[in-house]
Structure 1
Amino acid sequence: MKFRRMLHRFFALLQFRVLQPLGALRIAVGSLAAAALVALMSLTPLAPANAHDAVEKVEPADGSTVASVPAAVKLTLNNTPIALGAEVLVKDETGTSQSLGPVVIEDNHFAQAVKAGAPAGRYTVEWRIVSSDSHPTGGEAVLAAGALMTGRYVRRNPRGGKRDDGNGARQ
């Protein structure tokens, strides 16, 4: 019985004097390691995010007035898009599509034919493509055929949400 009590006291003393300080040491070392990791990560420069493909040129130019309805609308991207699901709609003032046939993609250029005899007036060109980095992207441009008007290019988020003026400013 006495031996049991001595053994019990020995283990209690061992736990109090040896094991508890080791637990506190583990916590201190873990906290120091976490602080060092955070400090190291704050010193590491962040890489800039890569932007998705963007339309560099619209023909006829966005906001322009042309003498007659063009035979085709052409767009140029900064990279070659993926042909899957590419769509360009050329809509007249009433919202009727004046697009003719499928979108033609060659390298980083894509074109949409316009119906012959399309009426003069304001046109909205809307596009949606899959960019070379496999993200969907889209936008719109406005032009006038045979009438004066002003407009500007805006890139919109194809999943909804706010629009982007191409310089990162949200509208």
Structure 2
Amino acid sequence: MSPVRRFAAGALAAAVVILATALPASAHDQLIQSTPGTDERLAAPPESVTLTFSGELLMLGDSTTGAVVLLVDAEGKNWVSGDPVVNGNTVTAAVAEGMPDAGYQVRWQVVSEDGHPISGVVPFTVGDASPMATAKTDAATTDAPADDAAQTADEADGMQRTLLVGAGGAAIAAAAFLLYRFLRRPRAAAAAPESGDSADTQP
């Protein structure tokens, strides 16, 4: 194989590798740990809620707040005191005093490192109370647990990955076709003089 052909083949292989490694990178961050943990039963109310994610979260402007964290009871009362604080891949929210024994849900939404919002629900219980009843709409947000946490990404994630995979496949196919045409050209060019020479030798 000529140096030009080897270079073209290497370029195509490099493009395939780049596309293959770039597509998984489009996945959103995930909630990997929470305090309280999913379905945990606490003897006493927590003083704060901590959420840890797989990547650094985006913040809003110059503020340290780039997340929404609610700690709600069955009546819908929010027990979070003040704004949550984002520090790298961790979100912390203080909890108001006086929480009674009951079932609760931590409902959160943050901005993933790739710029997309993700959200989820972390249920837990304080004391001997029954867990908070979960509506069907809430259950859908806990279908993708990660360790002690439950989280979901928006529905656009699947569509985005599908489009990226399709675009990547189309690019690879186009590159392969161009490489094929490029490699075929030298053989075609070399064949032309041979046919001409044979014609000149005819009597």
**1:117 aligns to 2:113 (yes or no):** no
Structure with bigger strand share is 1
- Select 1:70's aligned residue among 30, 46, 50: 46
Alpha-carbon distance between aligned partners in 2 of 1:109 and 1:116, rounded to the nearest angstrom? 22
- Select 1:104's aligned residue among 70, 82, 85: 85
Number of equivalenced pairs? 122
1:65–1:146 CA contact under 8 A, matched in 2: yes
Gaps of at least 5 residues in structure 2 are 1-11, 61-65, 132-141, 157-203
Partner of 2:107: 126
SS in 1 for 2:51: strand
1:122–1:147 CA contact under 8 A, matched in 2: no
**Which letter maps to 2:152?**
R
Partner of 1:49: 24
Q: Provide Cα deviations, 1:75-117, integer angstroms capped at 9, x if missing partner.
A: 1111110122410001012121111100012221111111111
Q: Which has the higher contact order (CA 8 A, sep 6+)?
A: 2
Structure of higher CA gyration radius: 1
TM-score, normalised by the number of residues in structure 2: 0.52
Alpha-carbon distance between aligned partners in 2 of 1:154 and 1:105, rounded to the nearest angstrom? 19
Partner of 2:116: 135
SS in 2 for 1:90: strand
Structure with bigger helix share is 2
Alpha-carbon distance between aligned partners in 1 of 2:75 and 2:85, rounded to the nearest angstrom? 25
- CA-based RMSD of the aligned residues comes to 2.9
- Percent identical pairs in the alignment equals 31
TM-score, normalised by the number of residues in structure 1: 0.61
Q: Note the C-alpha offset of 1:158.
A: 4.6
Gaps of at least 5 residues in structure 1 are 1-39, 161-171
